[in-house]
Amino acid sequence: MVERPPNLSPQELKQYAGELKLDGQSFAQCLDSGKHRQAIARDVEEGARLGATGTPTFFINGRILVGAKPLTAFQKLIDTELTKKPQSK
């Protein structure tokens, strides 16, 4: 797989879709329509509001873990959360 810069033009995305053997016509139609633009913008806003500053971002019991982390990072965070005493409401 070839690495791509993070900001690809629509034409470059269409070319990449072809290289991946996607249905080029369907892909181009979807991309050009912009029908998912609002949903994506909402997701980006929500991520920013929650503190997601990069990808991937994970939330475990309300705790944030940003970036490609090793399994041990997840295990440590999960173990920490499991040992906490439940808060009474």
User: 63 and 81 in contact (C-beta within 8 Å)?
Assistant: yes
pTM: 0.59
Q: How far apart are the first and last CA of the chain?
A: 50
CA-CA distance, 23 to 72, in Å (whole number)?
A: 39
- Check whether residue 42 and residue 66 sit in a common domain: no
* pLDDT value at 1 more than 80: no
pLDDT tens per residue across span 14-44: 988 998 999 999 999 999 999 999 999 999 9
* pLDDT value at 6 more than 70: no
Classify residue 6 by its DSSP letter. S
**Matching residue, tokens 């879709």:** 17
Distance from CA of residue 55 to its chain's centroid?
Answer: 5
CA-CA distance, 50 to 64, in Å (whole number)?
A: 9
Tell me whether residue 25 is in a domain.
yes
Domain containing residue 27:
8-50
- Check whether residue 58 and residue 43 sit in a common domain: no
Number of domains making up the chain? 2
